[in-house]
């Protein structure tokens, strides 16, 4: 991903990216996106980056010795501090649908932001909503008060978040709507696809947004809209 594409992706929302991927692929049916309603730490926050993946659990205490858990936690932090940037932490909570442990709060968001990550995507829990740092978006499956017995199970392996499968290194775009995995073969064509999408949408929006029109005017505008998409 070049700087131009990164800057563009930071300015558009995730539904736009989802539609643009279909434009680039020349067909409908793209399905590498999250399912269900998610919670965002900010209304305007967008995260873009390569996935740094992990799995956690929190409902019950870990069965392994404390020194093993501590060593894995520090290895996890080292892993998150490395790798290509921009990066997004993508963390699967294996307790879902019974997740109770907020891994993402004031401490972890500030740590991961300091590592240079742009945000965190999880099917699990976030908290400390009034104390999360600016410039680091969290998109989570739920909001709750406790960290439970949260601990890292593993990292740098494929994960699944809200029905979306994510391999380490996948390019992620996420905001308050949810998240998508941008296919590798689409990346070189994505800027042009977004421009084409905006151009076609402008046809119908210019004819309708903030206006009162009749069906005949709409029919003409919609025909032009359809023609611009083919």
Considering the domain architecture, whether residues 154 and 104 belong to the same structural domain is answered as yes
| HSE value, Cβ hemisphere, 13 Å, CA-based, for 225 | 15
- Tell me how far apart the alpha carbons of residues 175 and 38 are, in angstroms, rounded to a whole number: 9
Per-residue pLDDT of the chain (230 residues; tens, 9 = 90+): 899 999 999 999 999 999 999 999 988 899 999 999 999 998 778 999 999 999 999 999 999 999 999 999 999 999 999 999 999 999 999 999 999 999 999 999 999 999 999 999 999 999 999 999 999 999 999 999 999 999 999 999 999 999 999 999 999 999 999 999 999 999 999 999 999 999 999 989 999 999 999 999 999 999 988 887 75
Considering the domain architecture, whether residues 157 and 218 belong to the same structural domain is answered as no
Considering the domain architecture, whether residues 75 and 147 belong to the same structural domain is answered as yes
- Asked if 180 contacts 32 with a C-beta cutoff of 8 angstroms, the reply is yes
Domain membership of residue 13 (yes or no) is no
Considering the domain architecture, whether residues 120 and 213 belong to the same structural domain is answered as no
User: If you compute the radius of gyration of the chain from its CA atoms, what whole number of angstroms results?
Assistant: 20
- Provide the residue range defining the domain that includes 209: 189-228
3 is in an annotated binding site: no
Considering the domain architecture, whether residues 102 and 147 belong to the same structural domain is answered as yes
| 151-155 vs 47-57, strand pairing mode | antiparallel
Q: How many domains are there within the chain?
A: 2
Considering the domain architecture, whether residues 82 and 159 belong to the same structural domain is answered as yes
Domain membership of residue 4 (yes or no) is no
Report angle CA 52, 56, 59 to the nearest 5 degrees. 160
Q: What pLDDT score does 230 carry?
A: 53
Q: What pLDDT score does 225 carry?
A: 87
Q: What CATH number did the domain enclosing 68 receive? A: 3.50.30.40
Considering the domain architecture, whether residues 176 and 197 belong to the same structural domain is answered as no
Considering the domain architecture, whether residues 80 and 153 belong to the same structural domain is answered as yes
- Indicate the helix (H) or strand (E) that contains 174: strand 171-175
Considering the domain architecture, whether residues 94 and 204 belong to the same structural domain is answered as no
28 is in an annotated binding site: no
Considering the domain architecture, whether residues 127 and 208 belong to the same structural domain is answered as no
Considering the domain architecture, whether residues 172 and 199 belong to the same structural domain is answered as no
Considering the domain architecture, whether residues 140 and 196 belong to the same structural domain is answered as no
Domain membership of residue 16 (yes or no) is no
């Amino acid at each position: 991903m070049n700087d131009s594409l990164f800057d563009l992706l930071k300015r558009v929302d995730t539904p736009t990216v989802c539609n643009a991927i279909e434009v680039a692929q020349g067909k409908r049916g793209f399905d590498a996106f999250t399912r269900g309603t998610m919670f965002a730490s900010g209304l305007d926050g967008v995260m873009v980056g390569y996935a740094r993946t992990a799995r956690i659990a929190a409902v019950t205490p870990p069965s392994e010795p404390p020194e093993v858990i501590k060593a894995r936690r520090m290895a996890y932090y080292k892993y998150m501090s490395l790798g290509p940037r921009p990066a997004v932490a993508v963390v699967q909570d294996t307790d879902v649908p019974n997740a109770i442990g907020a891994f993402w709060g004031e401490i972890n968001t500030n740590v991961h932001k300091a590592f240079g990550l742009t945000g965190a995507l999880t099917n699990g829990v976030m908290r400390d909503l009034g104390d999360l740092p600016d410039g680091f978006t969290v998109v989570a499956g739920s909001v709750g008060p406790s960290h439970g017995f949260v601990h890292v199970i593993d990292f740098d392996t494929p994960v699944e978040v809200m029905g979306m499968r994510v391999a380490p290194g996948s390019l992620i775009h996420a905001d308050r709507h949810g998240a998508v995995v941008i296919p590798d073969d689409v990346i070189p064509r994505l800027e042009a696809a977004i421009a084409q999408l905006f151009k076609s949408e402008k046809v119908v929006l210019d004819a309708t947004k903030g206006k009162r029109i009749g069906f005949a005017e709409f029919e003409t505008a919609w025909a032009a809209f359809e023609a611009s998409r083919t």
